[in-house]
């Protein structure tokens, strides 16, 4: 079952208003939340980011955090998500439907939509790593907002896929920002480097968990921009996201990173993350 604009709807029965601004303009926001063994991971952090995205696009959310909590927990119940299940919850809020003009119509009611999908953890991939392709960051200048406008991300991801890689690494004039749907970390001399959480990247929930875990465990973290030569000479690279978790990147544009194997620092972070999930989510 899906939750659509205040109603519970069977799969295949949901309808979109042709003048919904999410549909016409990508005018809306979203979150993707991980469900580990039937339990949501970092739900509060996702809600906080959702409210921030809403504020940044001048969208006033008519739902309290408690109401959104209730929708999410009913969604899990109605879809029989149990302790057996790894899944993702998708929640989107569009600005709503109104005759099509670019400026924001007054009195418009936001439209909420949410569903869950079974999604296995990428266990095998996390052991062997992905390959990546460098590409120009063609997106806009507010990548910190989790907006439905994802065409830039779609095109750069496809660029990587067409080149036979799993993810694209984005750069603006040679400065590395993030990936098409994940954050990027470089490892150099046992320290982590990642772009600061400003307007050029999404402030990833997994990125923050990794930064916290690294610091708690004596791994230095530098949140500062780095360039393409630094990227290519890194000892290790990895990306982070809700669905890909902590994913090693073993080559960029066909050139091996470090010795071209999954590195020891990323393996340590994966182990720490596993422990963290077991103690913080699955209890």
146 catalytic per annotation: yes
- Nearer Cβ to ligand PDD, position 40 or 97? 40
Write down the catalytic residue from 146, 157, 161, 188: 146
In the bound state with ligand PDD, the residue whose beta carbon lies nearer, of 131 and 242, is 242
CB of 183 to ligand PDD, least distance (A): 5
Q: State the minimum distance, in angstroms, from the CB of residue 182 to ligand PDD.
A: 5
Distance between CA atoms of residues 45 and 203, nearest Å: 11
Rounded-to-integer distance, Cα 144 and Cα 224, Å:
16
CB of 207 to ligand PDD, least distance (A): 6
Length of the chain counted residue by residue: 283
The residues that touch ligand PDD, with contacts defined as CB under 6 A, are 32, 153, 178, 181-183, 202, 204-207, 240-243
Indicate the residue among 34 and 97 with the shorter CB distance to ligand PDD.
34
Residues in a beta bridge with 201: none
**How far apart are the C-alpha atoms of 186 and 21, rounded to whole Å?**
38
User: Using CA atoms, how far apart are residues 131 and 154, in angstroms rounded to an integer?
Assistant: 18
E runs forming strands in 119-253: 130-136, 167-172, 175-179, 183-188, 191-194, 221-223, 236-241, 245-252
CB closer to ligand PDD, 1 vs 210: 210
Closest separation in Å from C-beta 107 to ligand PDD: 30
Selection from 72, 97, 62, 75 nearest residue 9 by Cα: 75
Q: Are 81 and 87 in contact (CB under 8 A)?
A: yes
Active site residues: 146
């Amino acid at each position: 079952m899906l939750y659509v604009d205040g109603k519970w709807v069977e799969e295949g029965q949901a309808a979109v208003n042709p003048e919904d601004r999410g549909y016409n303009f990508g005018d809306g926001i979203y979150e993707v939340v991980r469900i580990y063994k039937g339990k949501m991971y970092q739900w509060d952090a996702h809600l906080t980011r959702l409210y921030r995205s809403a504020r940044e696009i001048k969208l006033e959310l008519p739902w309290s955090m408690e109401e959104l909590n209730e929708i999410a927990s009913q969604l899990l119940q109605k879809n029989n998500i149990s302790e057996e299940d790894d899944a993702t919850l998708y929640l989107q809020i569009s600005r709503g439907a109104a005759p099509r003009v670019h400026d924001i119509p007054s009195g418009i009611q936001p439209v909420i939509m949410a569903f869950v999908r079974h999604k296995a953890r990428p266990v095998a991939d996390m052991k062997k790593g992905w390959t990546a392709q460098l590409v120009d960051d063609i997106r806009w200048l507010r990548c910190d907002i989790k907006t439905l406008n994802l065409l830039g991300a779609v095109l750069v991801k496809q660029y990587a896929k067409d080149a036979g890689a799993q993810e694209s690494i984005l750069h603006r004039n040679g400065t590395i920002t993030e990936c098409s749907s994940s954050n990027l970390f470089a490892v150099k001399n046992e320290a982590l480097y990642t772009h600061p959480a400003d307007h050029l990247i999404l402030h990833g929930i997994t990125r923050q968990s990794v930064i916290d875990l690294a610091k708690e465990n004596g791994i230095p973290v530098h949140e500062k921009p780095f360039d393409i030569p630094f990227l290519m000479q890194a000892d290790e690279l990895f990306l982070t996201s809700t669905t890909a978790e902590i994913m090693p990147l073993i080559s960029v544009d066909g050139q091996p990173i470090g010795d071209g194997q999954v590195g020891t620092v990323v393996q340590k972070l994966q182990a720490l993350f596993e422990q963290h999930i077991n103690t913080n989510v699955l209890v």
